[in-house]
Amino acid sequence: MEYPEFLMDHFQSPRNVGEIADADGTGIVKNATCGDIMQMSIKVKEDVIVDAKFKTFGCGAAIATSSIITEKVKGKGIKEALRISDETAKDILSQLSRDKFPCFTLAADALRLAIEEYYCNKQKIHDKGGIREEDLEKILP
C-alpha cells in the first residue's frame, strides 16, 4: 500500500518526539492487536495546549499520526484540540485501507486520555476514569 506523501514526511521526520517532564496530562494507550504502545503528554496554560509530545513504540502509521496530531493541537484550546484530533484521524483514515485503522486511532485516544488527566487534576478528581466522555465535552472551555 502506498501512503500519502504527508504521512511519509511525518514518519521519516516526526515532530514533537519525547515527553514533557512536568506534563499537565499524559495518556498511554496500547493496541493489543499489533502491539503498538503510545504515550502523549501535554502542557496546558489557561486551557490552551502550549506543548504536546509523544513517544511511540509501533509502526510508521502510529508514529506519523502522533506527529501530525501533536503539531495540530499546539496553541489550541482543549475542546478544539479534541475536535482537531478526531477530524485529523478521520481525514487520514479516509485515505487508507481498513486494516490500518487501529494504528491511526492511537494518537487521538492518547490525546483524549491526556486531556482527561489534565481535567481530573484541575478538578481534583483523583480516580482516572472518574468522568464520562459526555461530561468532559460539556465542561471543557
Residues 49, 74: contact at Cβ < 8 Å?
A: yes
Q: Which of 34, 37, 50, 131 is catalytic?
A: 34
Q: How far apart are CA 118 and CA 91, in angstroms?
A: 26
- For residue 81, give the H/E element and its range: helix 78-93
Distance of CA 90 to the CA centre of its chain: 13
Candidates 59, 73, 84, 103; catalytic one: 103
Would residue 59 show up in a list of annotated catalytic residues for this protein? Answer: no
* Residue 103 annotated in active site: yes
For 37-110, where are the E strands, in sequence order?
Answer: 37-45, 48-57
Give me the phi and psi of 102, to 5 degrees please.
Answer: -60, -35
State the CB neighbour count (10 A cutoff) for residue 108.
Answer: 24
Which residues belong to the active site?
34, 103
